Amino acid sequence: MRKEHDFLGELDVPDDVYYGVQTIRAKENFNITGQTIDSDFIQSFAKVKKAAALANMLTGRLDKKIGDALIKAADEIIAGELLDQFPVDPIQGGAGTSINMNTNEVIVNRALEIIGEKKGRYDIISPNNHANMAQSTNDSFPTAIKVCISHKSKKLIAALEYLAGELDKKAEEYKDILKMGRTHLQDAVPITLGQEMGSYASSVRRGIRRIKTAVDSIHIVNMGATAVGTGLNAEPKYIKAVAHTLSEVTGETFKTADNLIDTTNNTDGFADVSASLKVTALVLIKMANDFRLMASGPRCGLNELKLPPRQPGSSIMPGKINPVIAEVLDQTCYQVVANDLAISLGVENGQFELNVMEPVMAFNLFNSMNYLTNAVNTFVDKLLIGLQPNSKQCHNWLDKSVGIVTALLPHIGYENSAMLAKEAYTTGDSIREIVLKKGLLPKEKLEHILSPEQMTHPGIAE
């Protein structure tokens, strides 16, 4: 054990860990979720610390030997090392101070080792004086959240593009499969299964654009704002430099906010990102439910789609197979919607110069992005790629439908069409049979009007 102290007193810290006294206190105080910090967030925070060290070295305030050691330690974390040294709960009081200090302590203790010193020699390299130089939790923590969101958004957007691409493939593959369209859960007019798949792809791409726009807006950071946005203890040269060094470290463009006070006390950018995730989730719920309905049955439902069988569907009913992959996408999206509420409550509960609720915002944002990425990839891999149409059943429903009478309106008029519909409902005969029986249209003309090309595109059949 080694002894470490803060202004509350002294604690024993195990010699083999890289965190220190403030992390120990956080472990004791916050046992909320049973989880630890998201690994992407740890690495994002290390990038922020590296950028700060580089900027402080540029101003000449940070000694080069110490700065180089801090940067090397941060690089190890960015590379995926020491991730087990971040044991604090992601939901915590203190506006993220515990996570910030956990990061500072790990970087400093590793930096001490790098220069040949023992862990805990904070008189040589200090978590507060060096790793936190020209910073506060109130600027470094939200900046790390933004870096992490940007990183995670790339994985999520890749998953959504994967989904849209596979839906496009199905749209082409199913372009000639005519089926019954439905409104109000009732028969409407025909559509092709390919057109339906294409509409899902279009809605997913709209979600991608929505997320990209929201994420682009959070590349404005408040590094150099320090505690309340006034820049106390941060040199103007540092404030000017740190967004540039952060851009170099991350490979993305981050800019310093025009109004650091505003950017320190307002977190509406996180609400924008969360809203984009929520709305995308709503679109995915609708799509997943359509798949479930089209696959319902198979004997006593619509049975227009054949989903890949993934597991037995019942502990009591032999042979039952459930649409579990569509169901898990639904449930994931419900959680994203719920997370958005927690984020919204956090955003509106900021007071004066700081929003102390950023930890719960980060926790839910990261979870939403992780969950959506995993669920979308699962949907494509486990359901969409192996999806099969039931063309015969689609044709059967279409043939039995009265809805196709709508295509006859321009040719036989509304009154005759209404008469046909009524007779079809009464007798159970198909529209085709009744039209031909009554001689309302020649067979060739009728087949032309009711062809997939004519019924699923704008215009009137000639």
327: domain CATH number? 1.20.200.10
The predicted pLDDT at position 58 comes to: 97
Residue 108 lies in a domain: yes
DSSP-assigned letters across all residues of 65-125: HHHHHHHHHHHHHHTT-SGGG--S-SS-SSTTHHHHHHHHHHHHHHHHHHTT--TT-TTTS
353-383 pLDDT, tens digit each: 999 999 999 999 999 999 999 999 999 999 9
33-50 pLDDT, tens digit each: 999 999 999 999 999 999
* pLDDT > 80? residue 461: no
197 lies in the same domain as 298: yes
Give the pLDDT mean for 109-119.
98
Q: Are 294 and 300 contacting, i.e. CB atoms less than 8 angstroms apart?
A: no
368 lies in the same domain as 409: no
Residue 229 lies in a domain: no
Which range of residues forms the domain containing residue 76? 2-133
* pLDDT > 80? residue 452: no
The predicted pLDDT at position 82 comes to: 98
Q: Are 164 and 204 contacting, i.e. CB atoms less than 8 angstroms apart?
A: yes
297-307 pLDDT, tens digit each: 999 999 999 99
The predicted pLDDT at position 75 comes to: 98
Residue 360 lies in a domain: yes
158-217 pLDDT, tens digit each: 999 999 999 999 999 999 999 999 999 999 989 999 999 999 999 999 999 999 999 999
309 lies in the same domain as 338: yes
The predicted pLDDT at position 457 comes to: 81
Please, what is the average pLDDT of the chain?
A: 95
Q: Is residue 179 helix, strand or coil?
A: strand
Structure tokens at 355: 């929003």
The predicted pLDDT at position 183 comes to: 94
433 lies in the same domain as 315: no
165 lies in the same domain as 282: yes
Looking at 86, 109, 133, the residue that finishes a domain is 133
DSSP 408: G
Question: Which residues fall within 8 angstroms of residue 219, CB to CB, at 6 or more apart?
Answer: 146, 150, 252, 253, 254, 255
Residue 397 lies in a domain: no
Q: Are 430 and 424 contacting, i.e. CB atoms less than 8 angstroms apart?
A: yes
Residue 141 lies in a domain: no
How many domains is the chain partitioned into structurally? 3
* pLDDT > 90? residue 450: no
Distances (CA, A) of 97 to 34, 128, 400: 19, 11, 66
* pLDDT > 90? residue 80: yes
182 lies in the same domain as 314: yes
Active site residues: 314
358 lies in the same domain as 213: yes
Q: Are 384 and 167 contacting, i.e. CB atoms less than 8 angstroms apart?
A: yes
104 lies in the same domain as 64: yes
DSSP-assigned letters across all residues of 304-373: -EEPPP-SB--SSSTT-B--HHHHHHHHHHHHHHHHHHHHHHHHHT-BTTB-TTHHHHHHHHHHHHHHHH
208 lies in the same domain as 308: yes
404-426 pLDDT, tens digit each: 888 899 999 999 899 998 999 99
Percent of the chain with pLDDT over 70: 100
User: What's the full length of the chain, in residues?
Assistant: 462
Q: How confident is the model at residue 126 (pLDDT cuts 50, 70, 90)?
A: very high
406: domain CATH number? 1.10.40.30
101: domain CATH number? 1.10.275.10
Looking at 77, 103, 133, the residue that finishes a domain is 133
356 lies in the same domain as 450: no
429 lies in the same domain as 329: no
283 lies in the same domain as 356: yes
* pLDDT > 90? residue 86: yes
d(CA 98, CA 136): 12
